[in-house]
Structure 1
Amino acid sequence: MSGRIPDSFIQDLIARVDIVEVIGSRLELKRAGREFKALSPFTNEKSASFFVSPAKQMFFDFSSGRSGTAISFLMEYERLSFPEAVEELARQAGVEVPRVGSSGPSRAVLEGPLDALAFADRVYRAQLREAPQAVEYLKKRGVSGETAKTFGIGYAPESWDALTRQLPDPRHAIEAGLLIEKDQGGAYDRFRNRIMFPIRDTRGRVIGFGGRTLGNDPAKYLNSPETVLFHKGRNLFGLYEARQAVAHPAYLLVVEGYMDVVALAQAGIPEAVATLGTATTQDHLKLLYRATSRVVFCFDGDRAGRSAAWRALEQALPEVNDGREAAFMFLPEGQDPDSLVQEIGAEAFRQRVDEAVPLTQFLINELSKRSKLSNIDGRARFAAELKPYFERMVGATLRTTLVDAIVPIVRMPRADVEAMLGGRGGGEGSDNNHQDRRMLKGPVLRLLQLVLDRPALASSIQGFGELHSLDEPGLPLLLRVVEYFHDHPEQNAAALTSTWDDPTEAKLLGEIPPPESRIFGSEAAMVSEFNDGFERLRTQARRQRASELLEIARQRELSAGELAELRELTASRAAQSLDRPV
């Protein structure tokens, strides 16, 4: 949106918001006399040196040397620009941001797809007030005005151009998936006669919409298409709202529908989020585990629900560890979360969440149905089918617990069970450690050798981005080591291994020998080798992603965002091939 933000508005906004509330929704603050304290979010400290002063409406971080207002904190903590931080605070305060030199908030001056989505969000919310049939539908579903405001629920009129005609230039709205381009030129509204649910990213920005029809449209729910901003497999409905309601949720409940999330919040259970018409992905789980240590999946109790739960389990296995839990809650026949919470109430519903089936128990229950455990062959088959799932578990305690649970089922000595599964539960000195040691080889091992010997090398690597998706043994450990030295440039390998949170990995890192170039190579050569090694990994990641997109293209038509990504990747590969010496 164009125009400068007036200084007077910024001062009024800082006076209006409570910095304790702003920071307390993101950090765990504890009262310390007249102030509040917390561990610094900017350094990896063990004793609190981050203070918030309600009287001064400022924060002071003695660990990193940072200080400032609520706006400064949002800029540092969430890496927002100044205008973005002001917009975020204004949204929380429920006020519009005025712009000097603009014609007011109603003017549709769009500078990109994010602007288009924010504008559409305002249009849909305003239209809801003018649509009695939409308001009546929400009332029948038990949604209050306050809950509708919390989730930004709106309404798309039954018109082909209700949004289109308000936009002097539809380009960014087309790019955002709000409009559909006509073959003969022009565009028309994608969403018509639908209750609109804005889908927000972790910063609260609208990146897409879900629409529930109020007519006889065969598509009951319609989501935004995949765009450069919105990916169904990487975003969750309600996650931002859940974090705003509960800064540090004890759990997050994964349900299947928009109205389930809204109804649970209405009933006093704001910890619910929903996948967006797709199965749970590892990207979803990474988002969830950044916000909580316990994820509970809620599914129907029928065969389809249990199949969906099994797919979620397969995605969760590599993400769950000794500090993370996953559990499964199955609904009674004919019920969904909305109807069940209305029938039994929030307290009884929470009790069911607390009693959800743990991941290991669900795994055992489902696999045991496939084998006859009453005979030796059936028990052997059960253990054989369990092995690949056991191998994907990363938590030592979790693996040990699973072994404890299946020993009486297969009626075998514990040592035999451990040998059959290929590990001793992940404890120190186990086969699992030796397996991990074997996994560290080739370029990943070499880069670990270099950075452990010369931690300053980490400073030359800026951002990992695409590397996180690369399937390369040992790469996640390498990236975490580099991140550690990024955050602690004054530390060395001894300090890293003494403070590393995983004892098994710490032991493994401590056993990595120094590189030969420590003796025979120059400092410049080591820097060059380290940077070149990371660039080769990036090239490998790009090729892997391009192959994935080409495989997707064989099965379905690529979205505009995926097509743009593929073009960028292939252009990058072509440029690299041109740069190679002949």
Structure 2
Amino acid sequence: MALSPQWLDELRARLTLSSVVMRTTKLQRAGREWKACCPFHDEKSPSFTVSDEKGFYHCFGCGAHGDVIRWMTDQRGLSFMDAVKELASEAGLEVPAADPRAAQAAEQRAGLHDVLQAAQDFYRASLSTPAGAKARDYLASRRFDAHTMERFGFGYAPAARQALKAALAQFDEAMMIEAGLRIAVDDKEPYDRFRDRLTMPIHDARGRVIGFAARILDADKKDAPKYINSPDTLVFDKGRTLFNLHRAGPASRKSGRLVVVEGQMDVVAMAAAGFEDAVAPMGTALTERQLEMLWRLVDAPILCLDGDNAGQRAAMRAIGRALPMLAPGKTLSIVRLPTGLDPDDLIKQSGPAAMDALLAEPGSLLDTLWEFEKASSPLHTPEDKAGLKARLIEHCEAIQHPDIRSLYRRDLLEKFSAFAFPPRPPRERREWKSGFAKPASPPLSPESAGRLRKANGVNRDALASAVVAGLLRFPDQILAHAELLGQFASQDGRVGPALESLIEAAELLEPGAETPISVPQGFAPPPDNSRFTFLDEGADPRAAREDLAEAVALLVERPALEAALAAATARFATDPEAAFAEQQRLLKRKLAFEKRLGLMASRRAALAAQTDSDSPSAPSGATDEDSE
């Protein structure tokens, strides 16, 4: 549906921005504008302003900015069209239909909303009848207060197969079937989908009823599913719906979090205990669309899943969906409940404070991935451990963002190396008396030293030489990057032998050893070591190792970039237009590559400046003789 700029301007002109913002945010007059503490980030003094004259809001703290439509999408979590429709209804404007078919579909959806709301009214009324006693007893057993039951709209679907049809006689049979309320099978008479069940309405982001979840009440019906949801319809799509999002979205703006639990009843239990920012998928694993909806509201939604095996499998399915979509600042956090407990069990046993404590310290996606894969199968043999490593790398390769993929790969392989090559028991320490020399740092074998000298003699590339020298200085990093180094070594005939020698030597060292490997005689330092922090003796070891990891990543990335540039250039003769576009894209990547390399020099210069400023200087006016 295309909306003209003129129509959108008319919509904005008919609404007062402050009145819309004021529904969820307390505003105070400030001259001709309004001010408040920003709803998009935590702050103690107000930096958020709303101007009705200018028609926009702006936060001088976090930079949040937009008009009334942007407010509805960012603060309420609505899609653009849902925001426009809700505002248009308030402003008395009719949203233009793109074509007659779209208008007919919109009219049909509106009719479905009407019949679904009528069904909700009927189910709510049925809960108070004698037939609804079982549903009321179940709610009493869950100890939900009256406010919770009212908010979530619990109802009861009578056992009779034609009860809803009789109650909603004003609606066509076809419409009730289309709404998922009735089932038609072959030539048989249609019948009610929900019978003798506790019902809960499912709402869209605008708070309209779009379907139902229904729980069985007769424990003897063991062959019947415990919960059933409405089928997908024109207004209800399981993969694009999160239960309770219309309430949890605004609540998440205040709490700064969004909690994803397994089922609708878990959401109700959380809300009854004061956790208003909980949502649930519709009986399936989180979909890509649902993840996008969550990330529009918070950067790190918290998966709070049951502590049993099913809960862990659900977490891994969600992680598998999330990995390709990870972006800077967008991730998942994971809370694992105690084994055998769901949110309601934990709250009843230990109180809301126990749940609050778990939500305050969730685990990271990376750590959860590592722990799950490590525990997923026995790890007794080298083959078992190699399988673990392969699974970890496979997860990393699923990540589309190149920087996030590299960082995950590095961190997971570091965890694997620490697990697969644990430190050996310390040997008996011997006291070294004066007059006796301490043992030298571990030497290379004659063959490895020879290959290292040969590769160094023919290769004067600053980056490659610096990486080799850095790995000699920090041998504990060799196996941490063995996968990347091995791939590069197999494709590079100059420095490849040197890297293979280092990998072989590292496998013979004590695991975790940090003593530098002895530099073989004849090995020359890099021609330019001023730009590499990890070659500076005064650098912080942790920072030096991080810079070395970045240098390794750059070394491996460079050949692929150069090969792609060469291939694009070669295509000019046959496809100049496409080749030029590809070359420009690759040149941008090369500039970014050079920038990353330049940052290492900047850090080195900053370290040198800091060292100079920290060193004591001679008094003003002192001569060389005075200082001596």
Tell me if both proteins adopt one fold, taking TM over 0.5 as the criterion: yes
- Which residue number in structure 1 is paired with residue 153 of structure 2? 152
1:185 CA displacement? 6.7
Equivalent-residue separation in structure 1 for 2:23 and 2:369 (angstroms): 41
- Which residue number in structure 1 is paired with residue 462 of structure 2? none
Letter in 2 for 1:201: D
Report 1:338-377 matches (<5 A).
Answer: 338-369=344-375
Letter in 2 for 1:194: R
Letter in 2 for 1:122: D
Equivalent-residue separation in structure 2 for 1:438 and 1:233 (angstroms): 42
1:288 CA displacement? 1.8
CA contact (8 A) 1:114 1:207 kept: yes
From 226, 233, 238, the counterpart of 2:239: 233
- Which residue number in structure 1 is paired with residue 419 of structure 2? 409
1:21 CA displacement? 3.7
SS in 1 for 2:118: helix
From 284, 290, 294, the counterpart of 1:288: 294
Report 1:83-94 matches (<5 A).
Answer: 84-85=86-87
SS in 2 for 1:123: helix
Equivalent-residue separation in structure 2 for 1:384 and 1:30 (angstroms): 58
Report 1:453-464 matches (<5 A).
Answer: none
The superposition leaves residues 37-90 of structure 1 with CA deviations (integer Å, 9 ceiling, x where unpaired) of 69999xxxxxx996156xx9x954599996799999999984348774477899
1:307 CA displacement? 2.8
Q: Does 1:121 align with 2:85?
A: no
Letter in 2 for 1:277: G
From 195, 200, 205, the counterpart of 1:197: 200
Against the structure 1 CA distance between its residues 386 and 246, is the aligned structure 2 distance closer, same or farther, given a 3 Å change threshold? closer
Equivalent-residue separation in structure 2 for 1:75 and 1:365 (angstroms): 33
- Which residue number in structure 1 is paired with residue 105 of structure 2? none
- Which residue number in structure 2 is paired with residue 223 of structure 1? 229
Equivalent-residue separation in structure 2 for 1:112 and 1:142 (angstroms): 36
Equivalent-residue separation in structure 2 for 1:135 and 1:426 (angstroms): 66
SS in 2 for 1:210: strand
State the TM-score, normalizing by the size of structure 2.
Answer: 0.55
- Which residue number in structure 2 is paired with residue 207 of structure 1? 210
- Which residue number in structure 1 is paired with residue 334 of structure 2? 328
1:203 CA displacement? 2.8
Gaps of 5+ in 2: 1-14, 41-46, 59-63, 93-107, 422-474, 489-548, 569-575, 596-628
Letter in 1 for 2:81: R
Report 1:431-580 matches (<5 A).
Answer: 431=556, 507=592
CA contact (8 A) 2:57 2:65 kept: yes
Equivalent-residue separation in structure 2 for 1:272 and 1:417 (angstroms): 39
CA contact (8 A) 1:379 1:409 kept: no
Against the structure 1 CA distance between its residues 399 and 70, is the aligned structure 2 distance closer, same or farther, given a 3 Å change threshold? closer
Against the structure 1 CA distance between its residues 333 and 439, is the aligned structure 2 distance closer, same or farther, given a 3 Å change threshold? farther
Against the structure 1 CA distance between its residues 19 and 310, is the aligned structure 2 distance closer, same or farther, given a 3 Å change threshold? closer
CA contact (8 A) 1:321 1:398 kept: no
Letter in 2 for 1:168: F
CA contact (8 A) 2:270 2:343 kept: yes
From 179, 183, 207, the counterpart of 2:182: 179
Equivalent-residue separation in structure 2 for 1:505 and 1:344 (angstroms): 56
Equivalent-residue separation in structure 2 for 1:275 and 1:260 (angstroms): 11
Pick which of 231-240 and 206-215 moved more: 231-240
The superposition leaves residues 230-273 of structure 1 with CA deviations (integer Å, 9 ceiling, x where unpaired) of 23233221222211333355332222221111011100112222
Letter in 2 for 1:367: E
1:195 CA displacement? 1.8
Equivalent-residue separation in structure 2 for 1:140 and 1:88 (angstroms): 41
Instruction: Name which structure has the greater RCO, CA cutoff 8 Å, separation 6+.
Output: 1
SS in 2 for 1:297: strand
Letter in 1 for 2:481: E
Aligned length: 420
Equivalent-residue separation in structure 2 for 1:368 and 1:59 (angstroms): 54
Letter in 2 for 1:418: H
CA RMSD of aligned residues (A): 5.0
SS in 2 for 1:246: helix
Against the structure 1 CA distance between its residues 161 and 373, is the aligned structure 2 distance closer, same or farther, given a 3 Å change threshold? closer
CA contact (8 A) 1:254 1:295 kept: yes
Equivalent-residue separation in structure 1 for 2:78 and 2:316 (angstroms): 40
Against the structure 1 CA distance between its residues 436 and 177, is the aligned structure 2 distance closer, same or farther, given a 3 Å change threshold? farther
Against the structure 1 CA distance between its residues 76 and 162, is the aligned structure 2 distance closer, same or farther, given a 3 Å change threshold? closer
State the TM-score, normalizing by the size of structure 1.
Answer: 0.58
- Which residue number in structure 1 is paired with residue 135 of structure 2? 134
CA contact (8 A) 2:346 2:354 kept: no
- Which residue number in structure 2 is paired with residue 261 of structure 1? 267
1:414 CA displacement? 3.0
- Which residue number in structure 2 is paired with residue 168 of structure 1? 171
Letter in 2 for 1:330: R
Gaps of 5+ in 1: 1-13, 42-47, 91-108, 454-473, 475-496, 498-503, 511-582
- Which residue number in structure 2 is paired with residue 79 of structure 1? 81
Pick which of 190-199 and 113-122 moved more: 113-122
Letter in 2 for 1:141: R
Equivalent-residue separation in structure 1 for 2:591 and 2:29 (angstroms): 35
Equivalent-residue separation in structure 2 for 1:270 and 1:344 (angstroms): 19
Q: Does 1:112 align with 2:115?
A: no
Equivalent-residue separation in structure 1 for 2:590 and 2:287 (angstroms): 26
Q: Does 1:386 align with 2:400?
A: no
Equivalent-residue separation in structure 2 for 1:428 and 1:436 (angstroms): 12
1:190 CA displacement? 0.9
1:129 CA displacement? 4.1
Equivalent-residue separation in structure 2 for 1:392 and 1:69 (angstroms): 33
Q: Rg: which structure is higher?
A: 2
SS in 2 for 1:158: coil
Pick which of 279-288 and 59-68 moved more: 59-68
Letter in 2 for 1:188: Y
From 240, 251, 261, the counterpart of 1:245: 251
CA contact (8 A) 1:117 1:207 kept: yes
CA contact (8 A) 1:127 1:156 kept: yes
The superposition leaves residues 120-176 of structure 1 with CA deviations (integer Å, 9 ceiling, x where unpaired) of 233323333444443342232122222223223332223323322213312222112
Equivalent-residue separation in structure 1 for 2:115 and 2:590 (angstroms): 46
CA contact (8 A) 1:152 1:198 kept: yes
Equivalent-residue separation in structure 2 for 1:430 and 1:128 (angstroms): 69
From 438, 459, 481, the counterpart of 1:418: 481
CA contact (8 A) 1:243 1:249 kept: no
The superposition leaves residues 256-296 of structure 1 with CA deviations (integer Å, 9 ceiling, x where unpaired) of 22111101110011222222222233232222222211223
Against the structure 1 CA distance between its residues 311 and 168, is the aligned structure 2 distance closer, same or farther, given a 3 Å change threshold? closer
CA contact (8 A) 1:59 1:67 kept: yes
- Which residue number in structure 2 is paired with residue 467 of structure 1? none
